[in-house]
Amino acid sequence: MNRLLPIASIMLMIFLLSCSGSFSVLKKKDLRALDNMVTIKGGSFMMGLNNELFGEVNDARTKTVTVSDFKISAFEVTNAEFRDFLKKCDDNDSAMFSPADSVWKEFVGMRDYFYDFKYNSYPVVGITWTAAKAFCDSLTRWTLGKTFRLPTEAEWEFAARGSLEGNVYPWGQDLQCPNGDYLANFKKRDGVYEHDGFIYTAPVGSFPPNKYKLYDMGGNVNEWVNDSYALTGYQESDDIDPCFDCEELPDNNGAKVIRGGSWTQDEIYLECGRRQRLRYDAKTNYVGFRIVEVVQ
Ligand SMILES: [Ca+2]
Ligand SMILES: [Ca+2]
Question: For residue 196, how far is the Cα from the chain centroid?
Answer: 18
**Hey, what domains does the chain have and what are their CATH numbers?**
4-294 (3.90.1580.10)
For residue 188, the ligand closest to its alpha carbon is 1
For residue 195, the ligand closest to its alpha carbon is 1
For residue 202, the ligand closest to its alpha carbon is 1
CA of 115 to the centre of ligand 2 (A): 21
CA of 254 to the centre of ligand 1 (A): 29
CA of 92 to the centre of ligand 2 (A): 29
For residue 184, the ligand closest to its alpha carbon is 1
CA of 184 to the centre of ligand 2 (A): 9
For residue 160, the ligand closest to its alpha carbon is 2
DSSP the chain: -TTHHHHHHHHHHHHHHHHTT-SPPPPGGGG-STT-EEEE--EEEEES-EETTTEE-TTS--EEEEE--EEEESSPPBHHHHHHHHHHS-HHHHHHHSPPGGGGTT-GGGTTTTT-GGGTTSBP-S--HHHHHHHHHHHHHHSTT--EEPPPHHHHHHHHHTT-SS-SBTTBS-SB-TTS-BSS----TTS-SGGGS-SS---TT-S---TTS---SSSSSEEEEEEEP-TTTTTSS-SBS--TTTTS--SSS-EEEEES--TTS-GGGGSTT-EEEEETT---SSEE---EEE--
| pLDDT for the residue numbered 93 | 96
CA of 220 to the centre of ligand 2 (A): 5
| pLDDT for the residue numbered 1 | 45
For residue 74, the ligand closest to its alpha carbon is 2
For residue 215, the ligand closest to its alpha carbon is 2
> Do the beta carbons of residue 221 and residue 126 sit within 8 Å?
no
Segments in the chain below pLDDT 70 = 1-17, 20-30, 52-54
CA of 58 to the centre of ligand 2 (A): 23
What is the tens place of the pLDDT at every residue in 186-209? 999 999 999 999 999 999 999 999
Note residues around ion ligand 2 (Cβ under 5 angstroms): 216, 220, 260
Note residues around ion ligand 1 (Cβ under 5 angstroms): 185, 193, 196, 198
For residue 198, the ligand closest to its alpha carbon is 1
> Do the beta carbons of residue 155 and residue 67 sit within 8 Å?
yes
